[in-house]
Structure 1
Amino acid sequence: MSNHHGSEHQGRRAVGQVKEVTSLANPLVKDIKALALKKFRDSQNAFMAEGLKLVIDALDLGWEIRTLVFAKAGRGNPAVEKVAARTVASGGTVLEVSEKVLSAITRRDNPQMVVGVFSQRLVPLKDIHPKGGDVWVALDRVRDPGNLGTVIRTVDAVGAKGIILVGDTTDPFSVETVRATMGSIFAVPVAKVSVEAFLAWRKGFAGLVAGTHLKGAVDYRSVDFSGRPVLLLMGNEQQGLPDDLAASCDRLLRIPQAGRADSLNLAVATGVMLFEIRRGALKLEAAFQ
């Protein structure tokens, strides 16, 4: 089952298909470095995630690993060896690289010891059928990878079901977004849709669609979110919800501000809303205990 190519020194011991790579000019390294650019992520349908724990979580959650890259320092580390064996067993390639190569791949001076290259995975909108107390978040044209990653991480933390990206959004599989999710990218289903497709799908949504809006008439704490599916619709960082999306909401809510700032950061506002929705669900559960 050898798929070695090039003249790089080939692997040894129990790790199996290991290629040793020390040259930045190696085509495998160039391909992985190219994943920093969206057009290459899209053409290869791949993305990069850094850190041993993240790679293990991704494998446990059934994501397809194409390439495992680890620093020479990881040789002999039982956890790294086990992940390498899992990668080979699933048909992936394992690269043992120098610190210099790992820094070039991650664009970091002190990179993590392990990097995984995975196949991208998005959920088709038609497969999303919220029920019961399910909570989904829809983000309109989110631009900032840190915001998107933090929202994905928060959705995971509160036990919401997933995220629908509406319109021209930042890439959920960019290195910056994946870093900001702290591994939650592998646990949270993500869909990407046009505004038209979203509005068509929303017509069949049987729960409460709530959006935050500066013109929102209702204090976010005064709404009963319990007992039905909730779709939380959050507007773009600069402009908030456009008229067509605002009109699709059952409720437009505001988060009252006490200080001089007139708005919250998108990720913070989404977190505030999600924890309020969750509080309503927990209150309902407590009532039935």
Structure 2
Amino acid sequence: MFSYIEDVIFEFFNMYLRNSIFDVVLPLFESSLPVFLLTLVFSVIFAVYCKKKYGEMIYRVLLFMGMLGLSAFFAHEGSHFFAFERPRPFQEIAGTMYYDSKDGTWLQAQYPSSEGYHIFESDMTLEAGEMLDETAVFENQVKNQEEISVIERKVVENPLHVDLKQLHIKLIDGSKKLFPSSVISISMAVAVVIALLMAKISPYIYLFPLLIGWSQIYTGSAYLSDLLVGWCVGIVAVFVAWLCFALFFRITGKYF
């Protein structure tokens, strides 16, 4: 039941809720760069706030940045500790719109969803630099491997002018996806820390991990379950980091 609801939600946000503005803006939030920029911006804001209210800045800002860094670390490590590999949505659902960050283009998955998830492995032997086209790819590869599902639309539509090594990298690039995503976990961890230490903006800062999650679905990189589990990992990471800081101050004789 949940899988069906998850697919419906994914298809709504990925295939139907689309416009040219989202196509430009949301890919910018798919990577970890926005999380780093948000951390930097709020570190400056927190420094100004502390200087005005408490008259001291360096100690409190270091504490703030330490809490952010430790929470992000636990979120990242927690995501990888519990993670397992599973296909991305564009590798399973035909018609999925996904963003190729290397070329900066939008593509649409065209293979039948019933084919499932397979990593492309080539048994073809060619001299380095030898040119291939789409006919050569299919005539040689289908003989050795009948089930090939992870083939991008542009590989099918256009001649492929690359050597074997480049071909192999292009077709399997991005095929491995860890569940949950560390970017999603870290975005929630950062948001929770900012909300705890800057209470006035707490109702709004949670829009940031929501935006990160939306971008992951919109670009065809994640399901709803990726977001939910990733956010939970981020919240737990903050709790663990907070306990570490409390233990540190108890040992050193300082308290919150």
TM over 0.5: no
- Which bin holds the TM-score, normalised by the shorter protein? under 0.3
> Quick check: which one's helix share is greater?
2
> Quick check: which one's strand share is greater?
1
TM-score, length of structure 2 as denominator length: 0.22
TM-score, length of structure 1 as denominator length: 0.20
